[in-house]
Structure 1
Amino acid sequence: MRAFRRLLGRRHRVIAAAVAALATVCALIGLRPDTASITVLAAARDLPSGVLDTADMKAVALRPDTVPDGAVRPGTPVAGRVLAGPMRRGEPLTDTRLLGPSLLASHGPGTVATPVRVADPETARLLSPGDVVDVLAAPSTWEDAAPARTVAEDVTVLTTPDGEQDRGALIVLATTSDQAVKLASAQAGGHLSITINPRGR
């Protein structure tokens, strides 16, 4: 009986030692820094659309499975680039957030970035990048009784206005070359307005 107790005691000590060793290993794993991370650029603060400055971005480390496609890495020049839409603080910067070829890549071949000035700034402030709109042209004077006409249909908003603008709101649309010509002609001879297409929301 005494031998059995000694054997049982030794077994308990072995189990306790194994549990303690396992706990130590788990603790060391928990304290070990996570080396499996990718460093990307993210917004240092809430940002409006517009021209970026170096101080607008900061480097952040993300787990590989949380890094968005097209994330911009540290060392990539971003100062002077144009942000297509607002960003929240901490949001990773991606190539499609910047005005340029990457922004147009998802819109198919033949797409161009077309700046247009919308007569009503308040309406333009309702827009977000990715919204789909129709563009209407109206005469510049009330004496001209010609009705408003649709100049471009189902065009996507690339960038939205940044701050107050005295002569209407400047937005950039993804259009075809033909639509760009029509918009330029309509803008030269009248005022442009927009209607927001619910399919783009």
Structure 2
Amino acid sequence: MAHDLFRRRPGSDRDGTLAPTLGGRLGPFLRPGWARTDAARRAAAALLVLVAVVMVVRDGREDSGDPVVVAAHDLTPGRVLTPDDLRTVDRRGAEVPGSAVRGLDAVVGRTVASPVRGGEILTDVRLLGPRLAEAAAGTADARVVPVRLSDAGLADLIREGDRVDVLTVGAARDTDASRPPTATVLASGATVVLVTPEQPSAARRDRVVMLALAAPDASAVAAASLTDAITVTLH
């Protein structure tokens, strides 16, 4: 009995305190497989959540968007823009066309050249100006010329984007008054960029058709419109 009392218990040191045993040290590695698998799943799930949070924060910083000008409501051709027609919103870079308008000051007072839906990003080719003329006529020296057609009914038939030939219709200049008026082609392949809307009957005026032409043709059409009747034929 005395021998048993003084025998050191397994895992005890000389002063009787408990000490780590080999089994205790290897315990974590000897756990059942299901316990290790569950712990691994928890760690993987936590890592995925952390990665998702980092990506959301990063995307929010990188794709918060840049300010662009959009139509506050539907716009019709010929409308002169006011601040009430426009608003500024942030859009991500992938959604913004390269020619988007970035500030209200750049468009207030400009004339709308084609229908624009509410919320649509405004671009330079939606407004009368050099970029629209170049895009419509396909030449860097293009100009936009306003004309009033001798046959007002034609303005109801043509639309933005139509291609037309521009003609003058003058009276015969010889002594034979019985001869019909002569037509002279001033320009071929002009692009209609705007037809002003019809006015109420109380304030009705001749509608204006804006044509995009190369510079030499634009000058000829502008000069002829001061003295001669102008008409167009559609392609």
- Report the TM-score range of the alignment, normalised by the length of the smaller protein: 0.7 to 0.9
* Residue of structure 1 equivalent to 2:169: 138
User: How many equivalent residue pairs?
Assistant: 193
SS at match of 1:194: strand
> What does 1:44-123 correspond to in 2, within 5 Å?
44-50=72-78, 51-106=80-135, 107-123=138-154
Alpha carbons of structure 1 residues 12 and 60: separation in structure 2 relative to 1, 3 Å: same
Deviation at residue 151 of structure 1 after TM alignment: 2.8
The superposition leaves residues 132-169 of structure 1 with CA deviations (integer Å, 9 ceiling, x where unpaired) of 211233358xx872154433211122322134273432
Residue identity matched to 2:76:
P
What secondary structure sits across from 1:83 in the alignment? coil
Residue from 62, 65, 68 that aligns with 1:40: 68
Structure 1: state its 5+ residue gaps.
none
> Residue 41 of structure 1: SS of its match in structure 2?
strand
Higher RCO by CA contacts (8 Å cutoff, separation 6 or greater): 1
In 1, Cα distance between equivalents of 2:98 and 2:153? 33
SS of 1:45 mapped into structure 2: coil
Q: Looking at CA atoms only, which structure, 1 or 2, has the larger radius of gyration?
A: 2
Percent identical among aligned pairs is: 33
Q: Which runs of 5+ in 2 are unaligned?
A: 1-28, 172-177
Cα gap change, 1:63 to 1:117, in 2 (>3 Å): same
Higher strand share: 1
Contact 1:38-1:64 within 8 A present in 2 as well? yes
Q: Deviations over 1:24-70 (max 9, x none)?
A: 64367458773322221011111012311111111122221221121
Describe the SS at the equivalent of 2:229.
strand
1:183 is aligned to 221
Task: Pick closer, same or farther for the CA change 1:28–1:119 going to 2, 3 Å.
Answer: farther
Per-residue deviation, 1:15:
1.0
